[in-house]
C-alpha cells in the first residue's frame, strides 16, 4: 500500500471523531427547533456537559457514570432555559445568549480543580479481521462507542420525527402551536421535553470532547463548536440526514487544517485555525441566497412565544 493511501484511514477516522460533538449538539438542537423553540445556548450546555462528565469520570473512574452526568448536566442547564422561556416567557434569543455566558462561567468554576489532569479516554472498538482492514478498517471499526452512538442517533431522530405519532405532534407544535393547543396537546410540556433532549445531546457532545477527543479539561474547550452546531441545523434545512453530512463536512475541514499545519505549509497557523469558522460563514451566506427554501423548511413558530391563555 502506498504512503498516501495508508493515510486515508487515519484521516477518515479523525474526521468522524471531529464531527461527533457537532453531530450530537446539532441533532439535539434540531429537535428543539422542530418544536418551535430557538435555544442559542448550545455552547454553554456543551461546556457544562464537558466539565461535569470529566469531573465525574475522574472522581468515580467510571466512564458510563461520566457520560450520564454529562447528559444530566446538559439537560439541567437546558431546563433553566426552558423555565425562563417557556414558563416565564423570556425572550428566547437573549436567554440563549445568557445561557452560553452562564455555561462558560460555570464550567470554568467547576473545572478549576481538574485542569491538567489526564484521562485515559474511552475504549476503542476492536473487531479482529475488520479493524485491521486497509483504508477503512480503523475509520469504520476502530472508533469508540460515542462515535457510533452519534451516527445511530441520526436515523433514530429521523424515524422519531417522521414515522411516529409523537414526532408528528412535536412538528405540529413547531408549525402552529395555537392549532396544536386547540386540539388538546400540551404545547409547553412538549417543548420542555424537547429542550431537555437538546440539552442532554449537547452535554454528550461536550463530554466526547473532554473524555475522549482531547481527553482533558480546559476552559472554553468547545472552541465555538456550539455555534457551528447551530449553523449546521440551518445548513441541513432541519433534516437529520443532512445534519450528518454537514457535520462530516465541517469535521473534514477541521482535520484538513490540522494536516496542512503538519505538512509545514507556510501559512499562519491562526489563519488555518479560522478555516472551520470561515466555512461556516460561507455556507450560511450560500444558504441565505435561497430564502424561499429556508423559510419553507423552517418551523413556522420557531422562536415565537406561546401562552395557553393568549
Tell me, yes or no, whether 257 lies in a domain: yes
Tell me, yes or no, whether 25 lies in a domain: yes
Domain residues for the domain of 10 are 3-297
User: Which residues on adjacent β-strands are paired with residue 124?
Assistant: 144
Q: What is the mean pLDDT of the chain?
A: 87
Tally of domains in the chain: 1
Residue 138, Cβ density class (10 Å: 0-12 exposed, 13-18 middle, ≥19 buried):
buried
Tell me, yes or no, whether 183 lies in a domain: yes
- For 219-268, the pLDDT digits (tens) are 999 988 999 999 899 888 899 999 998 898 888 887 777 666 656 666 67
Tell me, yes or no, whether 307 lies in a domain: no
Q: What is the pLDDT of residue 127?
A: 72
Tell me, yes or no, whether 119 lies in a domain: yes
Q: Domain holding 123: CATH number?
A: 1.10.3470
DSSP-derived secondary structure for 213-267:
IS-S--TTTTTTHHHHHHHHHHHTTT-HHHHHHHHHHHHHHHHHHHHHHHTT-SS
Tell me, yes or no, whether 141 lies in a domain: yes
Q: What is the pLDDT of residue 126?
A: 75
* CA of residue 51 relative to chain centroid, distance: 16
CA 43 – CA 135 distance, rounded (Å): 34
Q: What is the pLDDT of residue 5?
A: 52
Tell me, yes or no, whether 308 lies in a domain: no
Q: Which residues of the chain have pLDDT under 70?
A: 1-7, 9, 129-130, 132, 135, 137, 139, 258-267, 269-273, 287-296, 310
Q: What is the pLDDT of residue 21?
A: 95
Tell me, yes or no, whether 305 lies in a domain: no
Q: What is the pLDDT of residue 72?
A: 98
Amino acid at each position: 500500500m502506498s504512503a498516501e493511501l495508508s493515510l486515508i484511514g487515519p484521516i477518515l477516522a479523525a474526521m468522524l471523531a471531529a464531527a461527533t460533538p457537532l453531530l450530537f449538539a446539532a441533532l439535539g438542537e434540531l429537535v428543539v427547533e422542530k418544536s418551535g423553540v430557538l435555544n442559542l445556548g448550545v455552547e454553554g450546555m456543551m461546556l457544562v456537559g464537558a466539565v461535569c462528565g470529566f469531573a465525574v469520570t475522574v472522581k468515580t473512574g467510571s466512564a458510563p457514570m461520566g457520560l450520564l452526568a454529562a447528559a444530566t448536566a446538559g439537560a439541567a442547564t437546558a431546563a433553566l432555559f426552558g423555565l425562563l422561556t417557556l414558563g416565564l416567557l423570556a425572550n428566547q434569543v437573549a436567554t440563549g445568549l445568557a445561557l452560553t455566558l452562564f455555561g462558560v462561567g460555570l464550567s470554568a468554576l467547576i473545572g478549576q480543580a481538574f485542569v491538567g489532569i489526564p484521562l485515559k479516554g474511552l475504549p476503542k472498538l476492536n473487531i479482529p479481521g475488520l479493524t485491521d482492514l486497509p483504508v477503512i478498517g480503523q475509520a469504520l471499526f476502530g472508533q469508540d462507542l460515542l462515535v457510533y452512538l452519534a451516527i445511530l442517533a441520526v436515523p433514530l431522530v429521523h424515524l422519531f420525527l417522521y414515522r411516529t405519532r409523537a414526532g408528528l405532534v412535536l412538528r405540529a407544535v413547531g408549525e402552529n402551536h395555537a392549532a396544536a393547543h386547540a386540539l388538546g396537546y400540551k404545547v409547553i410540556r412538549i417543548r420542555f421535553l424537547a429542550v431537555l433532549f437538546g440539552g442532554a445531546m449537547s452535554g454528550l457532545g461536550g463530554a466526547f470532547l473532554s473524555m475522549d477527543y482531547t481527553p482533558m479539561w480546559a476552559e472554553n474547550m468547545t472552541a465555538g463548536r456550539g455555534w457551528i452546531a447551530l449553523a449546521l441545523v440551518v445548513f441541513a434545512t432541519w433534516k437529520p440526514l443532512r445534519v450528518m453530512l454537514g457535520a462530516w463536512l465541517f469535521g473534514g475541514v477541521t482535520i484538513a487544517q490540522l494536516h496542512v499545519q503538519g505538512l509545514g505549509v507556510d501559512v499562519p497557523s491562526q489563519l488555518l485555525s479560522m478555516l472551520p469558522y470561515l466555512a461556516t460563514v460561507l455556507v450560511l451566506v450560500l444558504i441565505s441566497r435561497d430564502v424561499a427554501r429556508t423559510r419553507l423548511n423552517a418551523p413556522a413558530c420557531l422562536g415565537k412565544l406561546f401562552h395557553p391563555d393568549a
